[in-house]
Chains A and B, each alone.
Chain A
Amino acid sequence: MPAPLLEVTNLAKSFGTFTAVKSVTFNVNPGEVVGLLGVNGAGKTTLLSMILGLITPDSGSIRVFGMDLAKQRLAILKRTNFCTTYASLPSNLKVKHNLRIFARLYGVKNPSRKVDELLELLEITRLADSITGRLSAGESTRVNLAKAILNDPDLLMLDEPTASLDPDIADKVRKLVRRVQHDRSPAILYTSHNMRDIEEVCDRVLFLHQGSILAQGTPAEIVDHFQEADLENVFIKVARSGEVVTP
């Protein structure tokens, strides 16, 4: 076993009296794709935000690449990247300008060439001169993905990358994620409400419920564990019953 790339230990976060994440512990290995599954408000985005250093945990620790996030945030962020529905690139600039600027923020050598390369990889070269704010949801997801792999991250976090995409584009995005994973093998933390995403893309799933990990394993193991037909049914079962089952 290689040393884990991400080690989350007893992580907890409350907002006022509301507990969003309670004592979560898990590891992610290099090159592994881990899905975060859970109902709205389960704590997925909060968890990812803590790993990005955007939210300070109340307790517990996060180690990435063997470094403590609380102490070496910058060094970690250089090798990390993310894409989320909660943020977008500046809407008033051209796609290529936005991407080049972020390439420079991440210290990418030869930003223009890197951006051209990624636009080609994501099949959006034609959007290079478009104004970012005028893109369709599918287009802007791909641009955000391009931003997310600009620095060839070793840890990539994708928060609902297929939200609001039509099935065709969603399928393309999944293929893209798998391709990126295949070519560059970053570890990926992936959240989605689309069970197909999870089944197709993830090696392992963490089922988050009310801020705790309810179950983890391969998609098949999770389905087995809950004795349901598929992940979708597991999801609905958990959402409706709210039962706390320990694996």
Chain B
Amino acid sequence: MNPSVILALLTRYVLLYTRNPVRLFELFFWPIVQLLMWGFVTGYLQQQGDGDFSKTISFLIGAIILWDALFRSQQGVAISFLEDVWTRNLLNVFAAPVRMTEYLAATFSVGFLRVIITSLVLALIAWTGYAFNLFQFQGWLIPYYANLMIFGWSLGILSTAMVLRWGHGAESLAWAIPFMVQPVAAVFYPVSSLPAWLQPIALALPPSHVFEGMRAAVAGKDALWSPMITAFSLNLVYLAAAGAVFALTMRSARRKGLLVKVTSS
């Protein structure tokens, strides 16, 4: 891999964001809306009931912020690719001396930057609005974020492969993929609350282990390394599988002439 190629591709994506304020807006709009909405909902529930909802609020806010990391990272990969499709630039890039790994690494970096920026903004809002301190997780934030981000990359690669294979028709799928995973990834509720038959599936997904860990920490339990290691091992498997799917899709796209076609349609 040639770092200067990756940096050149990354420059392009960063220029896109800085040139267009609407893109920056898109970066913050949804997570902020979600934070506000769930904050108000739990606030309302707290007024209605007589139980202590403070833990519930923390669970939810923590989940929203961490989920956003997975989502942003997936979008960083998928949107960067779509950007090249939309602007009919794919041909130029793929006929330049750019390795697929360099291309993917650039999109990963876009995901990484998006995650860092939105997380900081969300952490600030959660802290001022709900007295939720994201940094209460201290060093554990690193395995949390790393695992969620890597899983986001894998989903992003899969989304990219789908657009490559099915063209513009698959674009909406590229947006939807994270939300197909969300219900079984134990984001807002523990794995144990899922139907028994879904639980093994949940446990096979890296984010479940992160969200379980986060809830345990909020509940004041001791944080454990083993779930993080499980998540990381699973992530390696998913990333390798997504990479293989992408390589195969690329090969078949070259055979079917789709690289020329997806851009010109």
Contact = CB atoms under 8 A, between A and B. Distances in A.
A104 B7 CA distance: 9
A91 B87 contact: yes
Contacts of B97: 74-75, 77-78, 105-107
Interface string B32-52: 000000000000000000000
Interface residues of A, number: 35
Nearest to B7: A104
Contacts of A77: 95-97
Interface stretch (A80-88, A114-122, A216-224): A80-88
A53 interface: yes
Contacts of B257: 13, 15, 46, 49, 54-55
A233 interface: no
Given A54-B260, A104-B4, A86 B88 contact: yes
A147 B5 CA distance: 16
A54 B95 contact: yes
B254 A104 contact: no
Given A92-B16, A97-B15, A15 B256 contact: yes
Interface in A170-208: none
Contacts of B89: 87-90
Nearest to A147: B92
Interface residues of B, number: 36
B8 A101 contact: yes
Given A54-B259, A92-B19, A102 B87 contact: no
Contacts, number: 101
A52 interface: yes
> Interface residues of A: mostly helix, strand, loop or mixed?
mixed
Given A54-B254, A93-B19, A86 B264 contact: yes
Most chain A CB within 10 A, of B88, B91, B97, is at B97
Interface string B251-265: 100111101100110
B260 A45 contact: yes
Contacts of A49: 257, 259-260
Nearest to A131: B19
Contacts of B138: none
A42 to B, nearest CB: 15
A93 B12 CA distance: 8
B90 A105 contact: no
B95 A52 contact: yes
Interface string B231-259: 00000000000000000000100111101
A190 B91 CA distance: 18
Nearest to B254: A56
A43 to B, nearest CB: 11
A54 B256 CA distance: 10
Contact of B9 (A80, A98, A105): A105
29 contacts: A13-B257, A15-B257, A49-B257, A54-B91, A54-B94, A54-B95, A74-B97, A75-B97, A84-B91, A86-B88, A86-B91, A87-B90, A87-B263, A88-B89, A90-B87, A91-B87, A92-B87, A93-B12, A93-B19, A97-B11, A101-B9, A101-B11, A102-B96, A104-B7, A105-B9, A105-B93, A105-B97, A105-B98, A147-B92
The 3 closest A-B pairs by CB, nearest first: A104-B8, A87-B91, A77-B97
Interface of A: 13, 15, 45-46, 49, 52-56, 74-75, 77-78, 80, 82, 84, 86-93, 97-98, 101-102, 104-107, 133, 147
Interface of B: 2, 4-5, 7-9, 11-12, 15-16, 19-20, 83-84, 87-99, 251, 254-257, 259-260, 263-264
